[in-house]
Structure 1
């Protein structure tokens, strides 16, 4: 009976839905987000029918492939016969072919072997099968991605979003409809009919007299109790105030507004003089102070205020909460509330330095002094509070008293000693620093400051004591070396730097080359040249392998030059030349440094040493000879060249340099003799060319032509000889001979672009444009992708006034040579004026650092009268390529038109130092026979005249 009762009670307690199957698509915990992030594409109708099933959203119990297989087997088992007669002890209810036979040991062993083989085969195919399934799934996902996969890149970008972007994300409540936030806005209260009736009555015109007026005998009879004689009866219209029904009298409304304004102004006016006492500036200032200073959302302020209040109440001993609360109120313009909050914070956090400093900042000056006094009572060791208290004082004496009081409480603060010493004069500062180094013996700055104020002997003692207290500080050693240099004790400078390296290494200090080189640069800027050179001497070789010495030292020297530390670079080169005296490149770099930033004497001394170590370096001999020549010491230059001949017999460069020296000094016979010797002993194509040019310049055309015939037979592949032959024939007026020379030269030198252009210009001057065009077309066929030939073709058509063909040729040229600066520069000015700026932008994109494009843009700004920008682009052009003579010519012409004398002389000087050799206009003037003796400064004005015509 008891068991039956228990069964009945258990059946009553069991819920009817516990044993039932879950509804289709049910996922436990999905409603509260327990299964992770899912979208509608995973579980909803947006999911494609052919999309593979995701295991996370399978029905309960079918989350894996194994579970699904079990379920399919279960349905198959349900269809089977489950009768007891069909049950077998080994195979269960499932029958097999050999169920009637006995199951023996052999059968069991065979089944075991089969199972083993199946497992082996399954393991072998498992990796391939899984990889294939993974590839198929990835391919399917690429073709039909889920919605959540489409936004995966955006989710990844959330990791790098800035803090400002996070704060600017609007809240969800801001995106809702206003109707949802405040549904009462849609409610409309109907206007009562009485209001309309009253409005109609007020707007009506009354055309009849009141009976009471008739009874009292006239319309002007006053109503009993009225204060005026002309007061109308109630209910009647005043004469002149009648308006049509439904309209308003705007004139009366304006009069009423003016009357109200007069009343308000009279209230603030002076009753005695009648003048207003309102200060308009002060009134506007008060209005400005009433405007809110915070432009954010009021809701955000309220939220922040509530959060900070919660933080203060939860943890009242947390100083940042009080500071943040006070600053919030300060930002919103409630300064007094901010002061109250921060003073409450000082009570709750009396040991917080930041809270006291914030309170002192928010309070006015007098109250801030009291706050600092209380803060010092709570935190007498706080350096920041003492400095804040001193900043509130306006008198230097009061500040000194504050700092001295502070040093009594905090004698080991370097910061306090420094600010206190800054207020004292030299003698008092020296006394205070003597006490400061006793209290703070490990402060290098205090020791060095004391050494600067002491005499020479005392400064040495101070620095020695500083080295004893701080043996690992290199600045003390450097200061000691600078002290010795300042008193002309140069021998001690090198010893001190050498001892410093040894001492620092003994104290386990790493010698960093970069830091020491930086110290040397700073020492040079301070004027201690010997000290910086000594530092370079002892440090430059530390930590450098022998095979890397030259490369590292040259990089260090270039770095020093870029920083303006020329003495450091000179010291590096000196050390490198002592170590590697046979390196010609090092001598050249040192010579260029002396040429640019040294004196002539230092350059000549260096070159004299250089040729002694590298006698085969012709360029060093030539630099020495040129230096003497530029100093008008021609005899010394000749002697240097004579020594160069002995060291380098039959050297072409030295022969030509000697010829140039004699020809420039009007020693033409000596120059001709030297060239004759050169042709006899070391005849080359250049020697022949210089010989011909000298005869040409001296107007000895017969000798020049005979030399040309000999030279073209010896060196037929030297294009300049054929060019000179054709130019001399053209100068003599023999056009046929000039054409013959150019044609013969082109048969030998098909790659000589200037030769093709000369022949084309010859035909153009004769008026045969067809022949000139044919020459250039043939040249382009033999020399494809050549911008000079394309430019000559474009100019030929443009000068012939066939501008449409010129434009089409320019388009083809830019397609074939898209990065040619000379073509883009010409294309800018071929365009019409409105399109030039667009074309210049395209040119700058293709050739950002090409000097021709930069010059074209500068000229474009010049034509538009944008002088400042034009000057900037001219400076950029000559800086990128100082050898581009056309840029200097345009720049000089620009300064002649829009600059002053100082700028013009600066351009002349810079151009003379650069000595440009290239440029179309520049070469047309510099290679003219009439200008063969002119210097760079004399050529520049001549080219600028030609520039003005071209511009």
Structure 2
């Protein structure tokens, strides 16, 4: 046993084999440690490692391409080379892979977005849940914010109150008291010389009196020096000693960064002027830099050097004059004219430096000696002359020197008498045959002469015809000399003439040039668009002249006459409107609307016989015209001629025999209280026109007013059967049942009506009204929600939805309504009423204006606006609303129609109906 252990120890002390690696049998490999540095040995070779793996039964790792001969490769692409087409193919395949990945990515992102949207819809963010409440915070007033209570302890934990108190020491109180006090006593160690011992150094005495006297003496010396009283230096300046200290406040203290920037800029400009001393802008910039830095002396020195280096640059001389005071600037400009005597700017700057008119004139006349062909100098010289005679003499000399200046010719013509002005313009026309301004000035001169004195109309008309001939001749002459102004340029000149008070010259220009550069088939549309554009700009005379020329070319166009009549109605007088309408009916006798407009104007003017005469002529030209017959009936009825009106209706039923005439006959009899006659008329009319819904409506209403519910129900039922698409019939039938106490029947009728007329918001609104009137507020909201689902863009339903909300949420509901039906007048009117309720007067007025602009035919909107102005507006605002409503002549809206068609209000005017509507709305 001892020998065995001895052999084991001997084995451990034996040296390792040369190729021994510790742990190789367990898969370890050779490595080198820091102790091996020096006589380190190499690791085992590949053969030794393979031998050891073979003893363990492991197979050696063999690279399949290890022994491959590159010259004897095999495979699909063996023996080929990688060329440019291979590279291109790889690039194409790579691009295809990228596109496929991008397409999949787009689908993947779309799917992710869809899932995210679904998730947000199911679980919205806190921000989205409180969006309406956040919008409501915009209307919270300052008082409401201040009244919000403070947040208390929400943790429900009982907090310990620290009720301990501490006594404040007296030293703190005394120290706080002495903080705001001032020391008002001097040191007791006062010496006889008047000095006081300095606390910092008790051995030194300071005499404050002598220090103050020395300071005053030095300051007085400085002020004497700068004011020029001290002649020891031989320098005198213009500094005001009294304002010296005040001027110190205006000194601008520059920061270190600004000073650094100025130094760098100074170096750059210094290099610039040294490298290129003939570059004038460099000297100007360098001088401006010094001026900005507050070094005026250096700036003047630099600009003086610039003037010496660039004596031919007028900008340098002007900058030098600007940097000097007035007297020195005169000297600078006097030197400037020695070098650049042809510079107009130099002479004008020199004239501006003079404060005396005579001196200015002397400078300018000296300038004209050097530059006699400068129009600007002549104009400045003439403007200084207060005597017209002297100005006329100067202008006469100016046009001799500069015969091609149109401005000078025109100025001379304005100063001359009319006869001499004609001679001047003739000379100007010969001197400048290419100027259209001279021809226009000649036309304006002739127009001025025509209206100068009280002349007979014949003579004035002949003189005005001369204006037309002059402008026409001018256009021909300009064309002959090659001056081809465009049509738009001539229109601008016409508008300018109108704005300057020459309407006949404007008309003459339109006559001579409006047909230029226009294709024959496009003339009407082009002229109408030109007239509309001129009207929008406010050039009514230009628009009137364009339409007048168009009517001469197209005298049989009804639309053109209607546009001209509308223009006169909006901007002209009653006489001009009557004149244009009389011409219109003469050229277009078959145009019923023109006859009616003329008759209405005569009637509004109070000339009822003239209106009858117009309608009689209209009968002759249009014997079967329904509108003319009804207009004649209305005229007679409004003027109390009821018998004549009835006879006209009888004749109209014989001659014209239209369903509207039969309806108006029944309405007329009903208004006169002849209900039996009205019913007989309706029965006859229904036999002729069984599909006319209004006949059934009037018949049912008459029966309902008589208390005959069964007959009224039968009339409405017959009407619904004959005209199922007429919504008003369904609504009247439902209201009849509701009045009769049959709300269930009313609901059933409305349900049938919605089946026959799907998507109709009036039927849904009526259904909501039925539920509200029967006391079912919850059911009314349900019906309203269903109606909004079927008619999401209905302004009527959105308006009802806004008012159905409680006050705090109405604003957010109105925002939703504006998104769905932004331009609906009912929604706009509702928003205006909301602003009204919040006392936002100006905003409410603006929204009422938007509502009536969106649809002026809704009478209820006008009523709400007038009611608003009655409460918050001035009498001027109220009159303006009434005037606009009368001009618009509204006919629709529920409250307006119910009041206007009431038999008690027959014959009332639009303004009276508006007052009744405003009082009825609530």
| TM-score normalised to structure 2 length | 0.71
Which one of the candidate residues 861, 868, 874 is aligned to 2:835? 861
Structure 1 segment 732-751 matched on structure 2, within 5 A: 732-751=706-725
Cα contact 1:294–1:333 (8 A) shared by 2: no
Q: Which residue of 1 aligns with 2:402?
A: 440
Q: Which residue of 1 aligns with 2:761?
A: 787
Cα contact 1:463–1:476 (8 A) shared by 2: yes
1:737, distance to aligned residue in structure 2 (A): 3.2
User: Aligned pair in 2 of structure 1 residues 126, 405: CA closer, same or farther (>3 Å)?
Assistant: same
1:483 maps onto 2:457 in alignment: no
1:576 maps onto 2:550 in alignment: yes
Cα contact 1:294–1:332 (8 A) shared by 2: no
Q: Which residue of 2 aligns with 1:512?
A: 486
1:253, distance to aligned residue in structure 2 (A): 8.1
Q: What secondary structure sits across from 2:312 in the alignment?
A: coil
Q: Which residue of 2 aligns with 1:836?
A: 810
User: Aligned pair in 2 of structure 1 residues 292, 736: CA closer, same or farther (>3 Å)?
Assistant: farther
1:291, distance to aligned residue in structure 2 (A): 4.8
Which one of the candidate residues 408, 416, 420 is aligned to 2:377? 416
User: Aligned pair in 2 of structure 1 residues 375, 840: CA closer, same or farther (>3 Å)?
Assistant: farther
d(CA) in 2 for partners of 1:266, 1:782: 110
After alignment, is 294-303 or 625-634 more displaced? Answer: 294-303
Deviations 1:798-847 (A, max 9, x none): 45555454445444444443433333444443333333344444444444
d(CA) in 2 for partners of 1:938, 1:386: 72
User: Aligned pair in 2 of structure 1 residues 264, 251: CA closer, same or farther (>3 Å)?
Assistant: farther
Cα contact 1:417–1:436 (8 A) shared by 2: yes
After alignment, is 506-515 or 416-425 more displaced? Answer: 416-425
User: Aligned pair in 2 of structure 1 residues 844, 408: CA closer, same or farther (>3 Å)?
Assistant: farther
d(CA) in 2 for partners of 1:851, 1:294: 61
Cα RMSD (Å): 4.1
d(CA) in 2 for partners of 1:888, 1:812: 30
Structure 1 segment 148-167 matched on structure 2, within 5 A: none
1:602 maps onto 2:580 in alignment: no
Which one of the candidate residues 384, 391, 406 is aligned to 2:367? 406
d(CA) in 2 for partners of 1:610, 1:604: 10
1:320 maps onto 2:293 in alignment: no
d(CA) in 2 for partners of 1:689, 1:334: 95
1:352 maps onto 2:277 in alignment: no
User: Aligned pair in 2 of structure 1 residues 321, 487: CA closer, same or farther (>3 Å)?
Assistant: same
Q: Which residue of 2 aligns with 1:113?
A: none
Cα contact 1:573–1:590 (8 A) shared by 2: yes
1:696, distance to aligned residue in structure 2 (A): 0.8
d(CA) in 1 for partners of 2:208, 2:724: 98
User: Aligned pair in 2 of structure 1 residues 254, 571: CA closer, same or farther (>3 Å)?
Assistant: closer
After alignment, is 825-834 or 659-668 more displaced? Answer: 825-834
Cα contact 1:885–1:917 (8 A) shared by 2: yes
1:428 maps onto 2:422 in alignment: no
Q: Which residue of 1 aligns with 2:128?
A: none
Which one of the candidate residues 583, 590, 594 is aligned to 1:616? 590
Q: Which residue of 1 aligns with 2:226?
A: none
1:690, distance to aligned residue in structure 2 (A): 0.3
Structure 1 segment 771-810 matched on structure 2, within 5 A: 771-799=745-773, 802-810=776-784
Which one of the candidate residues 879, 882, 905 is aligned to 1:908? 882
User: Aligned pair in 2 of structure 1 residues 308, 566: CA closer, same or farther (>3 Å)?
Assistant: same
Structure 1 segment 580-595 matched on structure 2, within 5 A: 580-595=554-569
1:385, distance to aligned residue in structure 2 (A): 2.9
1:144, distance to aligned residue in structure 2 (A): 9.7
Q: What secondary structure sits across from 2:465 in the alignment?
A: helix
After alignment, is 611-620 or 284-293 more displaced? Answer: 284-293
User: Aligned pair in 2 of structure 1 residues 141, 775: CA closer, same or farther (>3 Å)?
Assistant: closer
User: Aligned pair in 2 of structure 1 residues 697, 500: CA closer, same or farther (>3 Å)?
Assistant: same
1:613, distance to aligned residue in structure 2 (A): 2.4
Which one of the candidate residues 689, 712, 717 is aligned to 1:715? 689
In structure 1, list runs of 5 or more residues that go unmatched: 1-75, 82-92, 97-117, 146-242, 272-276
Q: Which residue of 2 aligns with 1:752?
A: 726
d(CA) in 2 for partners of 1:337, 1:835: 71
d(CA) in 2 for partners of 1:363, 1:807: 83
Which one of the candidate residues 880, 893, 901 is aligned to 1:919? 893
d(CA) in 1 for partners of 2:822, 2:248: 55
Which one of the candidate residues 608, 613, 628 is aligned to 1:634? 608
Which one of the candidate residues 427, 430, 444 is aligned to 1:465? 427
1:559, distance to aligned residue in structure 2 (A): 1.7
1:717, distance to aligned residue in structure 2 (A): 2.3
d(CA) in 1 for partners of 2:786, 2:535: 46
1:563 maps onto 2:502 in alignment: no
| TM-score normalised to structure 1 length | 0.69
d(CA) in 1 for partners of 2:211, 2:888: 78
Deviations 1:526-565 (A, max 9, x none): 2222222221111111111111111111111112222222
d(CA) in 1 for partners of 2:299, 2:588: 80
d(CA) in 2 for partners of 1:412, 1:808: 88
1:850 maps onto 2:811 in alignment: no
Cα contact 1:925–1:943 (8 A) shared by 2: yes
d(CA) in 2 for partners of 1:77, 1:254: 99
1:456 maps onto 2:418 in alignment: yes
Q: What secondary structure sits across from 1:508 in the alignment?
A: coil
Cα contact 1:723–1:755 (8 A) shared by 2: yes
Aligned pairs, number = 734
Q: What secondary structure sits across from 2:250 in the alignment?
A: helix
Deviations 1:864-917 (A, max 9, x none): 223233333333443443333333323333333333334433333333233222
User: Aligned pair in 2 of structure 1 residues 440, 80: CA closer, same or farther (>3 Å)?
Assistant: farther
Deviations 1:701-757 (A, max 9, x none): 111122223333432322222222222222223334333332332222222222233
d(CA) in 2 for partners of 1:873, 1:855: 7
1:773, distance to aligned residue in structure 2 (A): 3.7
Cα contact 1:533–1:568 (8 A) shared by 2: yes
After alignment, is 565-574 or 825-834 more displaced? Answer: 825-834
Q: What secondary structure sits across from 2:543 in the alignment?
A: helix
Q: Which residue of 2 aligns with 1:530?
A: 504
User: Aligned pair in 2 of structure 1 residues 695, 137: CA closer, same or farther (>3 Å)?
Assistant: same
d(CA) in 2 for partners of 1:750, 1:867: 45
User: Aligned pair in 2 of structure 1 residues 451, 880: CA closer, same or farther (>3 Å)?
Assistant: farther
Which one of the candidate residues 551, 563, 583 is aligned to 2:525? 551
Structure 1 segment 322-341 matched on structure 2, within 5 A: 322-328=283-289, 341=302
1:451, distance to aligned residue in structure 2 (A): 0.5
d(CA) in 2 for partners of 1:860, 1:270: 76
Cα contact 1:685–1:715 (8 A) shared by 2: yes
d(CA) in 1 for partners of 2:843, 2:866: 16
Q: Which residue of 1 aligns with 2:658?
A: 684
